[in-house]
Amino acid sequence: MLGIWISELERDWKKKSKIVLFSAFLIVIISNIWGLSSSQMGVFRFGEGSILLNNLNAPWFMMDGMSLLMMAALLPIFYIDQLSGELNSGAYRLYALRPYRRFELWLGKLLALAATTVVGIGIVYIISMIGSKFFFSSSDTAALYGFKDDVGRLPAELYTIKFYGVFLLTCLAKLLFCSAICVFISRPIIAFLVIFGLSIVLYHYIATELVFLFDPFRPILVSLQSGGSISFWLYLTGASILFGAISFWGWQRKVI
């Protein structure tokens, strides 16, 4: 099992398309930080006013807009290339000839993509922390979403860590969602369009709580408020289990 995981990780990081995609994303992140630093104000997209940014609250506010871009486009492109792309090209027929059971191949692939996602989010976190220290004013207190009063340095830094941790969980739920679609749709462009459209349909017509599959910024902020949001965690956990089960079932029945 470890051998499959390592093999999948190596193939993930050797593809030139991944390097190009990741490099472009880093440029977008840096540009976003630069843009926010010019005004020093963070304006919420949900009609909830604005906050004065500093080195303590800028790291998580930078993800407003960036999280939408990642969840709606960049992560699906990355996942689809590794899932539908290899099924469509027939490359996975060679991998399936290895002496492993199907669920081991399936799990190795998903764990490799999950590990790559963890590394990616970690890099985004580090860049946002460094950028906030260089481009925003230093402060010992910060305004946080849903908090009546400003909080000190330690609570603000813990809030940022929690934000990126919860964002990572939503990314992993998106991975399972993509895997559930890609196992049935092997043509990458079609899979992307279905994933993009279905992500919107799910929260518009099924349950508004599923908006985290498309734009997770506000749901994460609400979940981090005092008292949190039980419905967010229920839907996040339930969706992950459901999509994971569909993906597993589909892979077991996939004709390779």
Q: What's the pLDDT at 244?
A: 95
For position 37, what pLDDT does the model report? Answer: 86
Give residue 91's pLDDT. Answer: 57
Q: Exposed, middle or buried, 63 (CB in 10 Å: 0-12/13-18/19+)?
A: buried
Specify the pLDDT at position 175: 96
Q: Distance (Å, rounded) from C-alpha 149 to C-alpha 111? A: 40
Query: What is the C-alpha to C-alpha distance for residues 162 and 174, in angstroms, rounded to an integer?
Result: 18
The mean pLDDT value of the chain amounts to 86
Judge whether residue 16 has pLDDT over 60: yes
Pairing, β 151-152 against β 141-142: antiparallel
Predicted pLDDT of residue 255: 55
Residue 194 corresponds to which tokens in the numbers above? 């279905």
Q: Which of 8-22, 42-56, 120-134 has the lowest mean pLDDT?
A: 8-22
The predicted pLDDT at position 113 comes to: 92
The residue that leads in pLDDT, 78 or 172, is 172
| Eight-state DSSP code of residue 141 | E
Residue 142 phi, psi dihedral angles, 5° rounding = -150, 150
Alpha-carbon gap, residue 112 to 10, rounded angstroms:
9
Listed residue (161, 172, 12, 163) closest to 86, CA to CA: 12
Contact, 128 vs 62, CB < 8 A?
A: yes
Residue 12 is predicted with a pLDDT of 65
Please tell me the least confidently modeled range out of 32-41, 133-142, 156-165: 32-41
pLDDT attached to residue 54: 93
**Which residue bears the tokens 């080195």?**
55
Predicted TM-score (pTM) of this structure = 0.90
Residue-wise pLDDT for 92-143, tens only, equals 655 655 666 777 778 888 998 999 899 999 999 999 999 999 999 999 999 9
Token digits of residue 77: 């492109």
Summarised one tens digit per residue, pLDDT across range 199-255 is 999 999 999 999 999 999 999 999 998 777 899 999 999 999 999 999 999 887 765
